[in-house]
Amino acid sequence: MTETRETSRSPEFRLAQGALGGLRKDLFHNAFAYRPLLPSPPDGRLLRRLPERIRGRMAWAPHAAVAVCAFFVFLIGAAVADGSAPPLMVVYAFLPAVIVLLTLVRPVLAFWASLASTPFLAYMGESGDGWPWAPNSFAAHVVVLTVVAARTRPRTAAWMWVLTCGYAVFAEFFLGIGYSTDAPQLLFFAALALLVVTVLQVRRQAEEQVTAQQTVTAHERSRRTLLEERTTIARELHDVVAHHMSVVAIQAEAAPYRVENPPPELEQAFVTIRENAVAALTELRRVLGVVRAEDYEAPDAPQPTLADLEGLVANVRDAGLDVEKTVTGAVRELPQGVELSAYRIIQEALSNVLRHAPGAAAKVEVSYVLGGLGLRIVNGPARGLVKASPGAGHGITGMRERVTMLSGEMTAEPTEDGGYEVTAFIPVTREGTEQ
């Protein structure tokens, strides 16, 4: 029954119901709530442009501006009430100023206090002072509307102007006693002030949303880049491990035929080895095969190793990069995953030099040490008239992923002469070397 009644209501009724609900929420619910105006953040758009020594003091600039407005409202009231009885002068001059200061701690209450005190201040003034707003309450109400609108939402500003307009109409027709009205002037200045504040608020909210969206987009882009690099690494490792498992299965199947009259135990051992290798290969393809794209094709040739490094250097030299390769230590065969990752790191580093530092010279150092493999790729600053091409940020991320996967360490940072240096160390245990 309730759902039928809700759906049968017209859109106009629901719109009016929502508007009245917004009025109740903005100006009636918790109207006396204590909401002190906090100092401006030091990293705000305006304060961060100021010198450090005055940035802390300028954080209280909004409070000082409200206090200055309250002082001017007091001066207006004191000038108008000059010659009146002291009690009357105190109430007439101080009350609007106090209401302006009230916006710093209880903004919604300050609006209601300003609206409620308007007729009393108008009756306390002279007949030529204005109706339904006295000069000081005129200025105070405009200031209160502006400050409260700046501290709330645009919908609240609209409701405050509507209520002010409603009071102006009521005072003009039911409370006026031959006074000349100043309601149009106040409504015009109030609408102008509220419009400026609302535009600034909407712009600020839009900038905050754009900043938040850019942050989310950057995070998602970084995350997508990381996933793409991990997918690429998983594909290559799949090909490497699958190749080794296939070799194990084939050798286990062919081994009994290389021995004359092998004992049954040896034949059964090779059969077991082959069955386990085939089962592991099937499981490997089932698990790691999901990372392949639909259009991905396994390479026909084996994955590159450090033995193919000379060909890589020759290719980049043909592309115009002056590169020098140095190999130190006792060259030995390393696990294929280590060799592949080292090759890819050098390849990506040299590609970055071609993209981001055209005309620069590069050095590639490969160090075979006792505990693993050291890599160092360094280039000088860009030279010539060719502009650097922007990259997608995949290079450094991919290199870090490869090094992290192998429990290594990597640094990538600019050099003092304007170039760039990438260093990596990949640990290799003696057991891994023997394998």
Q: How far apart are the first and last CA of the chain?
A: 76
Residue 389 confidence class, pLDDT cut points 50, 70, 90: very low
Whether the upstream peptide bond of residue 414 has omega within 30° of 0, thus cis, is no
The model's pLDDT over 156-213, given as tens digits with 9 standing for 90+, comes to 888 889 999 999 888 877 776 556 778 889 999 999 999 999 898 888 888 878 878 8
Residue 327, pLDDT above cutoff 80 = yes
pLDDT given at position 100 = 93
Mean pLDDT of 218-231: 74
Bridge partners of residue 422, in order along the sequence = 377, 412
Structure tokens at 3: 């759902």
CA distance 174 to 148: 28
Residue 14 confidence class, pLDDT cut points 50, 70, 90: low
* Single-letter code of the amino acid located at 28: F
Residue 421: its H or E element: strand 420-427
Q: How far is CA 8 from its chain centroid? A: 43
Higher pLDDT, 426 or 126: 426
Coil/strand/helix, residue 284: helix
Whether the upstream peptide bond of residue 119 has omega within 30° of 0, thus cis, is no
**Radius of gyration for the alpha carbons in the chain, expressed in angstroms and rounded:** 39
Sheet holding 322-329, edge to edge: 322-329, 361-369, 372-379, 420-427, 409-414
C-alpha distances (whole Å) from 261 to each of 248, 258, 266, 308 are 22, 9, 10, 42
pLDDT given at position 235 = 65
